[in-house]
Amino acid sequence: MQKAQTLTPRRGGLERQRARIALWLLVPTLLAIALVAGYPLFNTIYLSFTDANLGSPEAPRGVGLSNYWTPDGLGILQDPAWWNSVVNTLKFTVSSVVLEFLLGLGIALVINSKFPGRGLMRAAILVPWAIPTVVSAQMWKWMYNDQFGVINDLLFRLNLIDAPINWIANPDLALWSIVAVDVWKTTPFVALLLLAGLQAIPSDIYEAADVDGASRFTQFWRLTLPLLVPTILVTLIFRTLDALRVFDVVYVMNGYAETSISMSAYARQQLIDFQALGAGSAVSVLIFLVIMIFTVFYVTSLRVRFD
């Protein structure tokens, strides 16, 4: 890129011209983003201050902050159901991200060591990732079936349980059953990212460590892990953002049930099922704020660079 500019003595003119061309090349994308993201977001924020309703033909009236907070306690922020969805989402996020990280690291380490068939294994772990979330949710729902599900059957055969467990209907288990599905589906993705990080570590430092007589365990803690930190951070933040906005797996497995409803599911219930466009938009804005805070943290903490 720099070289292109040294081609001509009149740098300034060329650079200005190239800047103009770049702008034209970007116009279609910027227009599309403005239309599909900018305007709807703006609209959502605006609607969150109105009493808009999908069912009523009347123009929305401004209601100030009352979708968020009212003196008589009807605002979203005063709704226990909202806070319940927040707690569910946090439980879901923390547990799934931690489990996916630990399992993913384990799998990445296994695939990173040389053994016959590792290519096949890397291909195999792509399978859960390739399966659409809705499909994996349905597959697991069937496996979780209390009477005829294969999970209860396996546990029976192993003598681990003596009565069938209704995984989804049991309020204590519903959320964790859904976490298990997410972990199954997403661990491979985490493993692949970590594997890429592992393979970028030069092998000569391990040879040096061998010469110095460091044990494999020491090598892992003193070399591999520290060198993997950037990859680990990216992976964790990516997964956190994804988990915070979880919708499909929760909705397909258990609908809007209180035991597992997520923030996004709660928002959609308000928006579409209750047709409360105003109140639902307020929920959307809250979720947006939470995720934007994480995003800013992501972009700044990793010092993403472009050139």
Partner 1 sequence: MSTSPSVPPHQPAARRRTKPGKLIGNLLFWLVVIIILFYVLFPFYWAIVTSLKLPSQLFDTPVAYWPERPTLGNYAQVFTGQPFSRNLINSLVVAVGTVVISLLLAMLSAYALGRFRFRGKSMLMYIILAVSMFPQIAVLGGLYTLIRGFGLYNTWWGLMFSYLIFTLPFTVWVMTSFVRDIPAELEEAALVDGATPLQTLFKVLLPVMMPSLVTTGLLAFITAWNEFLFALTFTADNTARTVPVAISLFSGASQFELPWAAIMAASVVVTVPLIVLVLIFQRNIVSGLTAGAVKG
Residue 10 in the binding site for partner 1 (CB under 8 A): no
Residue 71: CB minimum distance to partner 1, A: 25
Q: How far is CA 188 from CA 133, 180, 246, 249, 295, in A?
A: 14, 13, 18, 17, 23
The stretch near partner 1 (CB under 8 A) out of 67-75, 84-92, 147-155, 168-176 is 147-155
Kindly state the number of chain residues that form the binding site for partner 1, as judged by CB under 8 A: 120
Residue 143: CB minimum distance to partner 1, A: 6
The span from the CA of 179 to the CA of 243, in Å, is 10
At 50, phi and psi to the nearest 5?
Answer: -125, 175
Residue 23 in the binding site for partner 1 (CB under 8 A): yes
Map the footprint of partner 1 across residues 64-123, applying CB under 8 A. 106-107, 110, 112-115, 117, 121-123
Residue choice 13, 32, 222, 229 for contact with partner 1 (CB under 8 A): 32
Residue choice 170, 199, 218, 301 for contact with partner 1 (CB under 8 A): 199
Q: Count CB neighbours of 127 within 10 A.
A: 9
The stretch near partner 1 (CB under 8 A) out of 71-79, 88-96, 169-177, 267-275 is 267-275
Residue choice 245, 256, 259, 274 for contact with partner 1 (CB under 8 A): 245
Residue 271 in the binding site for partner 1 (CB under 8 A): yes
| Bridge partners of residue 62, in order along the sequence | 50
Q: Which residue type occupies 83?
A: W
The answer to whether residues 51 and 274 touch, using CB atoms and an 8 Å cutoff, is no
The span from the CA of 277 to the CA of 280, in Å, is 5
| Bridge partners of residue 50, in order along the sequence | 62
Map the footprint of partner 1 across residues 167-186, applying CB under 8 A. 184
